[in-house]
Amino acid sequence: MSEKESGRICILSTGGTIASTYDSEIGAYRPTVSIEALLASLPPTMGNVEVVTRELFQLDSANAQPHHWQEIASAIKQIHEEMPHLDGIVVLHGTDTMAYSSSAVSFMAQDFGKPIAFTGSQIPIELPWSDGPRNLRDAVRLAAWGDLGETCIVFNGEIHRSTRARKLRAGAHDAFDSVDPTPLGFLAREIVLYENRRKRHNLVPKFDTRLDDRVFLLKTFPGLLPQTISKIVELGYRGIIIEGFGSGNIPSKENALDGAIKQAIDSGCTVVMSTQCAFGKTDLSLYEVGKSALNVGALSAFDMTSEAAVVKLMWILGHTSDSEKIEEMMLTDYVGEVTMVSGMDT
């Protein structure tokens, strides 16, 4: 679609830094700004975009819970049913948990066929040097005219697949990076999109918000007691994503974790090994300390981010309790979240 054509989008607001103002009573920023005030930051030259608005909640994304992901996905479903001819949707969201929320929407609104562009800011909109206006403008451009058919994060002029993105910088404008695969594109004078993207299409969207949020994310560190895993299972968690060292390695001698992992799996808990490295993939077949987890039945996250793996396992456990089906679904690429390589550990 040409940017000279008219476009029609919906902006769904959920709060975040972009909608925050300074509250003198508490001495900190919190989300209060209406979506109409945020739209005032857009330049008048974007008047050929018709914007419909929905205010879902005013939430700092550090307070976001899995049920909020479901509410966002349900709102997108309702918007699609009411306005099926929209060109795309923009979701305003806080940056802290944007990778989780946008990944969840990726799984819950598959085959949407149009851009669902999450964006926000690192600096509140009320400050003159805020990055919010640019990010909002870029997200609106992509939603209205971009040849993209998936959920993404638009930030600092870059377009990232949600299930491949991570927030890597706490304060800089370039908060997000795509982990290993390149970004989907960028926004400059033109909207530039790469071939690794999923293009617009007219398939019937598959909305499915079922989740089981009893999934724990555990980071391995020297001195971690194996009993920790047993306590997690006792708390009622049905899945554990363990961020191992390097390619997914865990201690196999002192404070060995393989025995506790086996006990968890034997009790019906799914254990998935990930890596705490920002870039690279989990490969449990490389070292003895990786095979110790593989040999007792742990699954591999391969090149999924931990954020995507957590959300995906919650989504899977919302659909099945069968261990073979869980493994099959974890190995299935649904929304570009994983690249399976033949010969890797399974």
Q: Is residue 159 domain-shared with residue 247, that is, in the same domain?
A: no
pLDDT > 90 fraction of the chain, expressed in percent and rounded: 90
Instruction: Kindly give the pairing relationship between strand 299-300 and strand 270-275.
Output: parallel
Q: Is residue 77 domain-shared with residue 111, that is, in the same domain?
A: yes
Host domain of residue 231:
215-330
Active site residue 167: yes
Active site residue 95: yes
pLDDT > 70 fraction of the chain, expressed in percent and rounded: 97
Considering the candidates 17, 220, 282, 305, report the single residue annotated as catalytic.
Answer: 17
What beta strand segments (E) does the chain contain? 7-15, 20-23, 28-31, 49-59, 88-92, 109-110, 116-119, 151-155, 158-161, 165-167, 176-178, 185-187, 191-193, 206-207, 215-219, 239-244, 270-275, 299-300
Which tokens hold the place of 22? 């300074």
Q: Is residue 156 domain-shared with residue 223, that is, in the same domain?
A: no
pLDDT tens profile 289-313: 999 999 999 999 999 999 999 999 9
Is 340 within a domain? no
Is 99 within a domain? yes
Confidence of residue 6 (pLDDT cuts 50, 70, 90): confident
pLDDT tens profile 47-79: 689 999 999 999 999 999 999 999 999 999 999
Is 89 within a domain? yes
Residue 257 backbone dihedrals phi, psi, to 5 degrees: -100, -10
Instruction: Return the closest-CA partner of residue 164 out of 21, 307, 316.
Output: 307
Is 341 within a domain? no
DSSP letters along 173-226, please? S--EEESSSPPSEEESSSEEE-TTSPPP--PPPEE-------EEEEE--TT--T
- 340 burial via Cβ count (<10 Å: 0-12, 13-18, 19+): exposed
The count of structural domains within the chain is 2
Considering the candidates 87, 96, 177, 303, report the single residue annotated as catalytic.
Answer: 96
Q: Which residue has the tokens 């049905």?
A: 238
pLDDT at 210 over 90: yes
Predicted confidence at residue 211, as pLDDT, reads 97
Considering the candidates 14, 60, 87, 95, report the single residue annotated as catalytic.
Answer: 95
Considering the candidates 114, 167, 281, 312, report the single residue annotated as catalytic.
Answer: 167
Confidence of residue 4 (pLDDT cuts 50, 70, 90): low
Q: Is residue 250 domain-shared with residue 108, that is, in the same domain?
A: no
Which tokens hold the place of 309? 């793996």
Helix (H, G, I), strand (E, B) or coil at 323: helix
Pick the more confident residue, 37 or 104: 104
Stretch 79-91: mean pLDDT: 97
Active site residue 96: yes
CATH number of the domain encompassing residue 73: 3.40.50.1170
pTM score, whole prediction: 0.95
Predicted confidence at residue 45, as pLDDT, reads 67
pLDDT tens profile 222-257: 999 999 999 999 999 999 999 999 999 999 999 999
